[in-house]
Chain A
Amino acid sequence: MRQSNIGWLFLAPATLILFVVGFIPFIYILYVGFFDWNTNALDPTLRWAGLQNYRNLVFDTTFLNSLARTLVFAFIVVISELLLGYVLARALMADRLWGRQFFRTIHTLPIVVAPIAVGATWRLLCVPGFGIVPYYLKLWFGIDYNISTNAYHAFGTAIIMDLWHWTPFVTLSLMAGLTALPKEPLEQAQIDGGNKLQIFWYVIVPMLKPVLLTTVFIRLMDALRSVDEIWMLTKGGPAEATRFIGLHIWINVFPKTDYGYGAAMSLLTLYVTIVLSWLLFVAMTGRKGGAQ
């Protein structure tokens, strides 16, 4: 290691770019949030509004519902993906499994598909009157499945689409974690007569905790901000059944050009995201101490 300021020279270009496109926007939105600013209003200039935007936000039920909906969606998908991913990871790690590499590659496919194409594909599958999903559900099970009129169907489809898109990532990362586990504690637990459930809960889960929390963290952040897929699948509808917070901001702020209020919405969303990740971080470090 060389102690010198030359190091800064190498960091400078990257820092500069991220300062311009990452930091300045953050400061700017912080500033705009305190103003009443609508470029299509009678007075298109910035007018000081203090905390009025935030005050309105607390009573904006559409916004709050959208936020709540996003949280419900995120919790459902993250927990389901974790459970599914664990089962699949164990299955893929079976001692004798022919074609493991092939399965792994196929399983990676959804991760790299553009979210917008994922949405388009699922629309092709699920759109009423055209897709095969409503057709065969009706034919085989007599279910009237319609994502453009039934809110529950739309919400459920959004969840299943997210499971299709991201469970593979959870599977692969849990596999990476499971492969790296030391064998001795597992064998010791078996010798001591622990049953499968005990071994899972008292041996595997504590050892896997860092991997589990990293995976949950990344998935949670992504689930909270998913926009593209949902936009293609349902456009946020029917009514507002699948209008998650990112989508809500996007389709509200730009057509209405209500920038001050949009800034407040964006900031509150950012705040919720940060609080959630902080809680997760506390759980991560706090529990680590408890387990040892």
Chain B
Amino acid sequence: MRRSGIGSFVLWIGLTFLTLLPVWWMLVVSMRPRVKLYSKSVLIDDLYWDNFLAVLNSSTFLQYLWNSMVVATSNAALVCALGLLAAFGLSRYKISGGDNVFFWLITNRMAPPAVFLLPLFLLFTKWFVFGDFMLFDTKIGLILLYCVFNLPFAIWLLKGMLDGIPLELDEAARVDGATTGQVLSHVILPLARPGLAVTFILTWIFAWNEYLFAATLTSSADARTVTTALAEYVSVTGTNWGEMAAMAFLTTLPALVVLGFVQKHIVTGLTFGALKG
């Protein structure tokens, strides 16, 4: 079916405008001094960086930023490592009951977070306590917790990729005397590297973006993340819009940076490989 490109082009220009408007407005507000905040013009009138500086000079926010970095990066690394091992096991071995385990692993992703908030809060504060150490309000707690939604996702994505690597390569390496560990590190790992990169970036973004668990299961600057900083900021000072916009923009920035790179894989990722984007 041929259709003219002009109509579509106009439609897409309009749509691009609508998609960008909220993000653009956030940027405009973040670059306005207090006296000009209530101007209704949608143009950036001058480059005013004080809102960003104010946010970045706040030691609490920097601490939160650091926490987010640590949590997202460690979680993505952990998830990639464990996900690769699990995907290798599922893809290369006949495991009795493997299909059921796989199905159960995947369903964890679908769990509504609000439902698991309460039991996790109770477990973190009352049960997973070892002497003076409890999982509540620690970065480790969040890193482990984010596995609930990131690990099933990584296993699914990586299993699809490992299934695509021919079994003959493994066999050839084994004939040459390679151990299972060597097959994994010398055959699978190099070939799965692009897939691992995509998995790492997407899980990193999901962990970075998460709010509900972070807000409920942490209470101090030791473990709070940027998303909670943004939410707290709104509840504490409802009127300093410039700084709030700057903070929202900084929270969004990592996603913007990797946007072009994950763009191709996001549909595959979000539909659990059911659709190739």
The answer to whether A25 touches B40 (Cβ under 8 A) is no
A interface size (C-beta, 8 A): 99
* Stretch from B44-52, B53-61, B191-199, B256-264 contacting the other chain: B256-264
B interface SS class: helix
Asked if A71 is at the interface of the complex by the 8 Å CB criterion, the answer is no
Interface residue A291 (Cβ < 8 Å from any Cβ of B): no
Cα-based distance from A7 to B97 in the complex (angstroms): 11
Highest count of chain B CB atoms <10 Å: which of A110, A111, A136: A111
Beyond A25-B116, A125-B25, is A20–B227 a contact (Cβ under 8 Å)?
no
Given the complex, which residues of A lie within 8 Å of B118, measured CB to CB?
A: 29, 32, 249, 253, 259, 262-263, 266
A97 to B11, CA, bound (A): 11
Contact present for A269 and B112 (CB under 8 Å):
yes
Interface digits, B125-139 against A, CB 8 Å rule (1 contact, 0 not)?
001000000000000
Contact B144 A92 (CB under 8 A): no
Interface residues on B, range: 35 or more
| Residue from the list B42, B231, B277 in contact with A173, Cβ < 8 A | B277
Complex: A8 Cα to B89 Cα, angstroms: 7
A contact residues around B18 at 8 Å (CB): 164
B105 lies within 8 A of A132 (CB): no
Residue A42 at the chain B interface, CB threshold 8 Å: no
Cβ A109 vs Cβ B5 within 8 A: no
**B205 lies within 8 A of chain A by Cβ:** yes
Inter-chain contact B112/A172, CB cutoff 8 Å: no
Q: State how many angstroms separate the Cβ of B200 from the closest Cβ of chain A.
A: 14
Instruction: Select B8's contact among A29, A97, A109, beta carbons within 8 Å.
Output: A97
* Structural contact, B19 and A168, CB atoms closer than 8 A: yes
Chain A residues with Cβ under 8 A from B62's Cβ?
A: none
- Interchain CB contact under 8 A, B90 and A11: yes
Contact partners of A263 in chain B: CB under 8 A? 118-119
Give the complex CA separation of A97 and B252 in angstroms: 29
Within the assembled complex, what's the spacing in Å between the Cα atoms of A106 and B252?
14
Secondary structure at chain A's binding surface: helix, strand, loop or mixed? Answer: helix
Given contacts A25-B116, A177-B275, contact A7 B92 (CB under 8 A): yes
The digit string for B209-239, where 1 denotes a CB below 8 A from any CB of A, is 1011000100000000001001100100000
Q: Which residues of A contact B110 (CB under 8 A)?
A: 221, 277
A80 within 8 A of B: no
B-facing residues in A90-136 (Cβ within 8 Å): 90-92, 94-99, 103-118, 120-125, 130, 132, 135-136
- Give Cα A11 to B230, complex, Å: 37
The 8 Å CB contact of A112, one of B120, B151, B248, B266, is B266
Q: Are B115 and A249 in contact (CB-based, < 8 A)? A: yes
B19, B85, B230: the one within 8 Å of A110 (CB): B19
- What residues of B have a CB within 8 angstroms of the CB of A82 in the complex? none
Contact with B along A247-278 (1 / 0, CB 8 A): 10110011000010011001101100100010
Q: Which residues of A contact B147 (CB under 8 A)?
A: 17-18, 21
Within 8 A of A (CB), among B241-277: 241, 244-245, 247-248, 251-252, 255-256, 258-260, 262-263, 266-267, 270-272, 274-277
| Bound CA–CA A231/B230 (angstroms) | 12
A55 beta carbon closer than 8 Å to chain B: no
A62 to chain B: closest CB distance in Å?
15
Query: How long is the Cα–Cα vector from A186 to B139 in the complex, in angstroms?
Result: 54
A59 sits at the interface (CB 8 A): no
Contact B180 A6 (CB under 8 A): yes
Decide: A231 near B16, CB < 8 A? Known: A21-B144, A245-B114: no
Q: Report the Cα distance A246→B118, complex, angstroms.
A: 11
Choose from A11, A28, A231 the contact partner of B231 (Cβ within 8 Å).
A231
Task: Given A106-B19, A211-B275, output 13 extra A-B contacts at Cβ < 8 Å.
Answer: A4-B93, A9-B89, A10-B93, A24-B119, A24-B123, A94-B5, A97-B12, A99-B12, A114-B251, A114-B252, A117-B251, A136-B40, A259-B118
